[in-house]
């Protein structure tokens, strides 16, 4: 152990503890901007500088370690003055019009500047004034970039993509796409991880809220909204509602007050996805067992995460054929809404305007794919909103959250099973699929918890699911860096699997790039627990037992993989 003094407090911490963590253990919160634990510990922003007795220079607390007998002052005049100057210099290259910034009120730079009493900017401002493709789901505004490098690091180290890089030199240093390519021409998969790891408003999603408000105001349109599984784990965070209170039924109430006519659940179509994807897997395994050829190759990969699908197309095109042809639950919902549900309502499909609320930014790109349009050329899903956009709409609609009550979702697309809920956490799609595969093979249900081997946050998990004697080799990865390692191992013949689930974001959709932002905090594990416990409490925990899914097959689709199901619920990833 090391004994030191920080701001007149005696502190005992293990060796190799940073000054930042040592201070934290004594209840002293040193401000940081660029720091991200284990990811970005470069000491670049110089906001965490502290004075150490005996040292001529101030030191960064985030990447300097404690020494026995050290005496640290985190808020001495010298440290405070340097911190203030450093923040003022950052602001000299920062568009500080906070009122028109999406991160106003949730910006670490804003908070630190305020706490330091910076109420005027002494240095002349130089802004970048760069252009951007505002149609892309990820928007970069370099006037707000403080060059903390977090986006570079998360994209490179966690997602293995390396889209961002430093551009220019000296005072003109900026962050942009590597080689300054237009963002749409890079391999960016639009996962949004750079957004949720940005400390300011330099990165944000394309805002589609006005399009939705316009649709709601249009008397000719019937506006439906679907709520993705992982949204229920996090939507209350920005609104100050506890996890217990922030139920999907309360969210239904909020969305109706915003003006949505029907509120449905993507869990419904997650169950539908299991029926289609599970049947596809079993059909392919059956053919393989009979020795019938299959040119697509193994394993079969899940295809519900659009960031992952874009990643395969961009970086591993030889594996595109191995993606399940099943559309994602978001897209299946839209396709069913504009056909089956239009019939239930007895209205022309053109009148339906389908919105989805997703924990994801890549869903915006997915719903715009040419392969995700109906026969008439209209999109299955008209607009995909992130949770952050949805929260802005709730606020803009003057909904007072303490008056929200639990309201049932609409039927028949508003019911999902426990298996549908866990889609939002890494391993959940696999677990849901194995539960129903067991039934489809044997005609009887296993215990709902018979296969839990791929739960947990390890980056790459593998297991063998025993389906009544048939061994199915499965793997689960989350975070595209982990996915790349897994794909390389498959390509090199080091591992062999039958079925693989990949989610682009760490933790799965609960850690999605469209979720509420809490600077420097990873909440995927906590949010995932919400979904696992909703599943444990659910009355129905098997996708094939979803009565609304059963009715949809009985009344409309026929059976999984029927010609109509193929037409509406499957896609060609090459298209």
Q: Given the rule CB under 6 A, which residues bind ligand SF4?
A: 138, 154-155, 159, 161, 163-164, 188-194
In the bound complex, what is the minimum distance in angstroms from residue 484's beta carbon to ligand SF4?
A: 12
Residue 305 sits in the site that holds ligand HC1 (CB under 6 A): yes
Pick one of 197, 250, 363, 570: the residue that binds ligand HC1 (CB under 6 A): 363
- Residue 423: which of ligand HC1, ligand SF4, none does it interact with, CB under 5 to 8 A by kind? ligand HC1
Exposure on the CB side of residue 444, measured as CA atoms within 13 A: 4
Residue 359 sits in the site that holds ligand HC1 (CB under 6 A): yes
Contact assessment for residue 299 and residue 322, using Cβ atoms and an 8 Å cutoff:
yes
Q: Which is nearer to ligand SF4, 405 or 521 (CB)?
A: 521
Pick one of 64, 266, 386, 426: the residue that binds ligand HC1 (CB under 6 A): 266
192 sits in the region (left: phi over 0; alpha: psi -120 to 50; else beta) called: left
Site mask for ligand HC1 (CB under 6 A), range 381-420, x = bound: ----------------------------------------
Q: Which is nearer to ligand HC1, 254 or 270 (CB)?
A: 270
Residue 55's contacts (CB-CB under 8 Å, 6 or more residues apart) are none
Angle, CA 248 vertex, CA 359 and CA 349 arms, to 5°: 75
Which 8-state DSSP code applies to residue 323?
B
Q: Which is nearer to ligand SF4, 189 or 258 (CB)?
A: 189
- Alpha helix stretches (DSSP H) within 136-181: 150-153
In the bound complex, what is the minimum distance in angstroms from residue 365's beta carbon to ligand SF4?
A: 10
Contact assessment for residue 60 and residue 49, using Cβ atoms and an 8 Å cutoff:
yes
Pick one of 241, 358, 552, 557: the residue that binds ligand HC1 (CB under 6 A): 358
- Residue 189: which of ligand HC1, ligand SF4, none does it interact with, CB under 5 to 8 A by kind? ligand SF4
Q: Which is nearer to ligand HC1, 30 or 530 (CB)?
A: 530
Q: φ, ψ for residue 358 (rounded to 5)?
A: -130, 150
Exposed/middle/buried for 370, CB within 10 Å: 0-12, 13-18, 19+? exposed
Residue 72 sits in the site that holds ligand HC1 (CB under 6 A): no
Residue 13 sits in the site that holds ligand HC1 (CB under 6 A): no
In the bound complex, what is the minimum distance in angstroms from residue 273's beta carbon to ligand HC1?
A: 7
Site mask for ligand HC1 (CB under 6 A), range 225-244, x = bound: ---xxx--------------
In the bound complex, what is the minimum distance in angstroms from residue 558's beta carbon to ligand HC1?
A: 23
Q: How far is CA 199 from CA 45, 148, 169, 449, in A?
A: 12, 8, 22, 40
How far is residue 469's CA from residue 274's CA, in Å, rounded to a whole number? 21
Q: Which is nearer to ligand SF4, 20 or 190 (CB)?
A: 190
Q: Under DSSP, is residue 195 helix (H, G, I), strand (E, B) or coil?
A: helix
Site for ligand HC1, residues 498 to 517, rule: CB under 6 A? 508-509, 512
How far is residue 42's CA from residue 36's CA, in Å, rounded to a whole number? 9
Stretch of 99-107, 355-363, 446-454, 463-471 lying at the interface with ligand HC1 (CB under 6 A): 355-363
In the bound complex, what is the minimum distance in angstroms from residue 148's beta carbon to ligand SF4?
A: 14
# chain residues binding ligand HC1, by CB under 6 A: 19
> How far is CA 357 from its chain centroid?
12
- Residue 192: which of ligand SF4, ligand HC1, none does it interact with, CB under 5 to 8 A by kind? ligand SF4
In the bound complex, what is the minimum distance in angstroms from residue 480's beta carbon to ligand SF4?
A: 8
Angle, CA 396 vertex, CA 390 and CA 402 arms, to 5°: 80
Q: How far is CA 172 from CA 97, 182, 533, in A?
A: 21, 19, 50
Site for ligand HC1, residues 319 to 348, rule: CB under 6 A? 328-330
Give the closest residue to 142 by CA, choosing from 153, 131, 155.
Answer: 131
Dihedral sign for Cα atoms in the order 475, 478, 483, 486: negative
Bridge partner residues of 3 (DSSP): 12
Residues that bind ligand HC1 (CB under 6 A): 228-230, 266, 270, 304-305, 328-330, 358-360, 363, 423-424, 508-509, 512
């Amino acid at each position: 152990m090391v004994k030191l003094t920080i701001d007149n407090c005696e502190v005992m911490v293990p060796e190799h503890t940073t000054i930042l963590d040592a201070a934290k253990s004594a209840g002293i919160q040193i401000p940081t901007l660029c720091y991200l634990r284990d990811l970005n510990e470069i000491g670049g922003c110089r906001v965490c500088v502290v004075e150490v007795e005996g040292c001529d220079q101030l030191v960064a607390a985030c990447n300097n370690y404690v020494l026995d007998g050290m005496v640290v002052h985190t808020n001495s005049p010298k440290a405070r003055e340097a911190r203030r100057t450093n923040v003022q210099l950052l602001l000299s290259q920062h568009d500080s019009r906070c009122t028109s910034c999406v991160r106003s009120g949730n910006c670490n730079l804003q908070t630190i500047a305020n706490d330091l009493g910076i109420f005027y900017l002494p240095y002349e401002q130089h802004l970048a004034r760069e252009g951007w493709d505002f149609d892309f789901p990820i928007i970069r505004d370099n006037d707000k970039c403080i060059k903390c490098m977090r986006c570079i690091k998360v994209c490179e180290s966690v997602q293995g993509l390396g889209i961002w890089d430093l551009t220019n030199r000296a005072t003109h240093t900026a962050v942009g796409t590597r080689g300054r390519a237009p963002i749409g021409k890079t391999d960016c998969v639009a996962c949004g991880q750079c957004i949720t790891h940005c400390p300011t408003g330099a990165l944000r999603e394309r805002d589609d809220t006005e399009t939705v408000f316009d649709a709601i105001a249009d008397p000719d349109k019937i506006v439906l909204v679907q709520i993705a599984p992982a949204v229920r784990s996090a939507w209350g965070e920005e609104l100050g509602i506890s996890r217990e209170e922030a139920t999907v039924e309360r969210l239904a109430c909020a969305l109706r007050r915003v003006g949505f006519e029907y509120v449905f659940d993507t869990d419904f179509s997650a169950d539908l996805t299991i029926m289609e994807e599970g049947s596809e897997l079993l059909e392919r395994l059956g053919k393989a067992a009979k020795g019938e050829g299959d040119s697509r190759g193994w394993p079969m990969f899940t295809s519900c995460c659009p960031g992952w699908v874009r990643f395969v197309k961009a970086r591993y095109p030889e594996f595109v054929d191995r993606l399940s042809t099943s559309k994602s639950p978001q897209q299946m919902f839209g396709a069913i809404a504009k056909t089956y549900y239009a019939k239930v309502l007895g209205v022309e499909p053109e009148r339906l305007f389908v919105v989805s609320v997703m924990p994801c930014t890549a869903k915006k790109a997915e719903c715009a794919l040419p392969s995700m349009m109906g026969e008439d050329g209209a999109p299955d899903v008209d607009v995909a909103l992130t949770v952050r956009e949805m929260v802005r709409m709730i606020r803009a609609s003057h909904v007072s959250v303490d008056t929200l009550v639990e309201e049932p979702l609409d039927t028949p697309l508003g019911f999902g099973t426990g298996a549908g809920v866990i889609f939002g956490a890494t391993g959940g799609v696999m677990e849901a699929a194995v539960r129903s595969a067991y039934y489809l093979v044997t005609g009887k249900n296993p215990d709902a918890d018979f296969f839990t081997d791929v739960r947990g946050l390890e980056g790459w998990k593998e297991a063998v699911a025993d389906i009544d004697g048939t061994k199915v080799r499965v793997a689960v990865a989350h975070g595209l860096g982990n996915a790349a390692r897994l794909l390389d191992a498959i390509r090199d013949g080091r591992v062999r699997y039958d079925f693989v689930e990949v989610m682009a974001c760490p933790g799965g959709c609960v850690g999605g790039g469209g979720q509420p932002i809490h600077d420097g905090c990873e909440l995927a594990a906590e949010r995932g627990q919400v979904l696992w416990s909703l599943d444990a409490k659910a009355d129905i925990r098997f996708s094939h037992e979803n009565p609304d899914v059963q009715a949809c097959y009985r009344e409309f689709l026929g059976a999984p993989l029927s010609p109509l199901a193929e037409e509406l619920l499957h896609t060609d990833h090459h298209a």
